[in-house]
Amino acid sequence: MTAIQRETTDFTLPGSYGLGTTGFWSGANTGLAGCIREAVDQYGLHVLDTAEMYGNGRCESALGKVIRGIPRDKLFLVDKILPEHMNEKDFFSSLHGSLRRLGTDYLDLYLLHWRGEADLSFLAASMEAAVQKGLIRFWGVSNFDEPDLEDLLKVENGDRCYCNQIFYSLYERGSEYSLLPFMKSHGILPMSYSSLGSDYHPHPDIHKNKHIMELCRATGYAPESMMLKMNAAQGFCALFSTFSLLHLRENLRQVPEGVFQQFRTLADAAFPPPDHASPLVKI
Ligand SMILES: NC(=O)c1ccc[n+]([C@@H]2O[C@H](COP(=O)([O-])OP(=O)(O)OC[C@H]3O[C@@H](n4cnc5c(N)ncnc54)[C@H](OP(=O)(O)O)[C@@H]3O)[C@@H](O)[C@H]2O)c1
């Protein structure tokens, strides 16, 4: 099967960055609002990721308040539906609920959060119906491994799947072996979540690597900004989250190519790419 021709988006997603919003619904995490405004206004970041699951819709509501007043065409809003809502009764009410909480009349990208028991024929048909109604621009999936994508590609319009949002970071590179090449060959855009490996435990800690930290100190770039660039270099739209303006600014600094190549050599030695197939890690 060959990759289908995609409509181009207004933004270049592969190799770009996006801000995640997990935990934003909690009153303690108000710092994200300032990060979102600065990321959009100063850095031209446009991808914002949320889900109906996060705080049971409260995260979408909090995000909706922050983006009020930002021109809609400056944003690329990504939202996710739970697999248990993938049925006649719940699909459109879930989608309309997310739109209402976000205060928008369309999503740029709507994803099935994980496969669960979802009927993939229903998924493709409903998502396409939502596209036809102008409620979403693109649709996709999250946490789909290669066999899941193979199943999806067998159903009618399954090849309209635009994106697969998966866990990928320097600490977990398993998808490089065959999932990523498979997605690329089918024109399915990779988006990485937890790109800094935050929820992945136990994991190695880049801050404990003497050579990498020496390079970071000598050049003044944070290891996190290098890690994000690693994801972008693999073609991912790399999602990260931060409640700190200082971290946001560090992460979005442009790392010069020469510095990045030095980092890459050290990172490949410390966190080697996979040499065998392994199941997709989901967190
Ligand atoms: N599809 C899915 O199943 C799924 C699953 C998980 C996540 N996601 C999405 O992906 C988004 C990002 O993932 P994530 O939130 O799990 O984790 P992440 O981006 O890998 O890591 C976030 C953590 O890194 C810290 N951090 C960020 N920049 C830093 C810096 N320069 N220096 C030191 N620490 C730094 C943050 O702390 P500070 O706040 O202190 O900066 C926070 O604790 C989520 O918000 C969500 O939207 C999707």
- Going 216 to 220 to 224 to 229, the CA torsion angle's sign is negative
**Residue 275 gets which letter from DSSP?**
S
% of the chain with per-residue pLDDT over 70: 95
Rounded to whole angstroms, the Cα distance separating 238 from 27 reads 26
Shortest-distance Cα residue to atom 27 of ligand 1: 242
CATH topology of domain 17-205+231-254: TIM Barrel (3.20.20)
* Substitution candidate for ligand 1 out of 47, 78, 194 with most atoms within 8 A of CB: 194
Shortest-distance Cα residue to atom 44 of ligand 1: 20
Which of 233, 82, 264 has the alpha carbon at shortest distance from 168?
233
Question: CA dihedral defined by 77, 25, 103, 161, rounded to 10 degrees?
Answer: 30
% of the chain with per-residue pLDDT over 90: 87
pLDDT above 50 for 1: no
Please return the burial class of 99, using the count of CB atoms within 10 Å of its CB with bins 0-12, 13-18 and 19+: buried
**Residues 210-228: tens digit of each pLDDT:** 999 999 999 999 999 999 9
State the closest ligand 1 atom to the C-alpha of 23, by its place in the atom list counted from 1. Answer: 45
Domain range list for the chain: 17-205+231-254
The DSSP bridge pattern shows strands 136-142 and 163-167 to be parallel
- The residue type of 4 is I
Shortest-distance Cα residue to atom 42 of ligand 1: 242
Q: Tell me the pLDDT of the chain averaged across its residues.
A: 93
211 catalytic per annotation:
no
* Three-state SS at 90: coil
With a 6 A CB cut-off, is 244 part of the ligand 1 pocket? yes
Confidence of residue 201 (pLDDT cuts 50, 70, 90): confident
- What is the pTM assigned to this prediction? 0.96
With a 6 A CB cut-off, is 186 part of the ligand 1 pocket? no
**Residues 80-108: tens digit of each pLDDT:** 999 999 999 999 999 999 999 999 999 99
54 catalytic per annotation:
yes
**Residues 106-145: tens digit of each pLDDT:** 999 999 999 999 999 999 999 999 999 999 999 999 999 9
